[in-house]
Amino acid sequence: MNLDALHEEMRQWRRHLHANPEFGFEEKETAAFVAAKLREFGLEVAEGVGSTGVVGTLKRGSSNRAIALRADMDALRIAEQGELPYRSRNPGVMHACGHDGHTAMLLGAARLLAEEGGFDGTVRFLFQPAEEWGRGALAMLDDGLMQRFPFDEIYGLHNMPGVPVGHFETAPGQFMSAEDNFEIALQGLGGHAARPQATREVLVAACALVMDLQTIVARRISPTDIAVVSVTELLTDGTRNALPGMARVLGDCRSFKAEVSAEIERQMRLIAEGVALSYQCAAEVTYTREFVPLVNDAELTRHALAAAAKVFPPEAIRAEREPVTASEDFARFLDHVPGCFVYIGNGEHSMPLHNSSFDFNDAALPHGMGFHAAIVRERLPAG
């Protein structure tokens, strides 16, 4: 097929998706667009899998083996900045993480494989909702994904700002961290700003708590373990001349081991109780585990690298990428089958992910599509 024409189509798809972003579990127009394209390419299509997920199935030959390729479809509640001609038409929502590009690349691979074949077996194209929530993969699995559309292994990718376009990175073993969320509510007695002695105000306590939480990683977790504790919000019911009687400290934690996550929670509860006692207020800690660690299968990582070698030059392939403390709910699929997750470059000068001026680099589209097609042909060889 004419690859230049396909690349241009992918660019148009990507920009259409960028202009029409939808938040997690609200991807109705996106899902309809994806399903229509897959049917146009001749795939079997199931919609509404895990709420708004789409599964396309493509079979060739006689093998009973099946693999899955996954892309995420959801956008973020961020107001897009800048004057792109295809900027978001949905106020307050934008594709600030490149899921528009991920979807376009997987659609391109579906069309390429449908027209050219070159494999023997079944490919499941998973278009997943609500990755940013950490709920979309679970929703598809809870909706019977593995029973209705079985597969033996799974592959996924993400664009990476700072990495040159045309570069590829992965690694066996621990690759992306778990994410835990926390909220610590401090309750005291608010009052007039002129009479602090008549109150048990909680703002000073909250500030002390924010600082003390930094000691968890610095002093209470082994330096050989990777851990991050980040306070992201501090909210109170105070105003300019009123001391607050309530404060909420919120944030998230990253780790790769269950025992490290458990220790972070234990230390957080101890610190919160101690701070509350010293400032004569009460503390309540809510701690939840949102994402599990993403661990790449060693053997399938070798196959992913072999597939990448057919798309990327040797000097552009990084086979031992260090783990990152971002999280990805692709890991939920790895609880059921082995797989491998990889990064492709979005450009050295790309804005960061989740930035209001981020834009997926269209020059990366052929590389992601090429990897998807190559891993299918690597794992489901024809003839």
**pLDDT (tens digit per residue) in 135-184:** 999 999 999 999 999 999 999 999 999 999 999 999 999 999 999 999 99
Condensed to tens digits (0 to 9), the pLDDT of residues 225-266 reads: 999 999 999 999 999 999 999 999 999 999 999 999 999 999
In this prediction, residue 1 has a pLDDT band, given cuts at 50, 70 and 90, of: confident
Region of 37 (left: φ > 0; alpha: ψ -120 to 50; beta: rest) is alpha
The annotation status of 263 as a binding-site residue, yes or no, is: no
Q: Which two tokens stand for residue 109?
A: 């691979």
- The mean pLDDT value for 318-339 works out to 96
Percent of the chain residues past pLDDT 70, beyond the cut: 100
Q: d(Cα 129, Cα 54) in Å, to the nearest integer?
A: 9
The tokens 């390419």 sit on which residue? 41
Mean pLDDT over each residue of the chain, to the nearest integer: 97
Condensed to tens digits (0 to 9), the pLDDT of residues 277-305 reads: 999 999 999 999 999 999 999 999 999 99
- pLDDT at site 383: 77
The annotation status of 253 as a binding-site residue, yes or no, is: no
Note whether 3-176+293-379 and 181-291 share their fold: no
Taking the model in full, what pTM does it have?
Answer: 0.93
CATH code of domain 3-176+293-379 = 3.40.630.10
The annotation status of 158 as a binding-site residue, yes or no, is: yes
The annotation status of 95 as a binding-site residue, yes or no, is: no
The annotation status of 97 as a binding-site residue, yes or no, is: yes
List of E strands, the chain:
44-49, 53-60, 66-72, 121-128, 153-160, 168-169, 173-176, 178-187, 191-192, 227-236, 242-243, 246-255, 282-291, 294-296, 317-318, 339-345
Q: Write down the domain spans for the chain.
A: 3-176+293-379, 181-291
Overall fold of domain 181-291? Alpha-Beta Plaits (3.30.70)
In this prediction, residue 345 has a pLDDT band, given cuts at 50, 70 and 90, of: very high
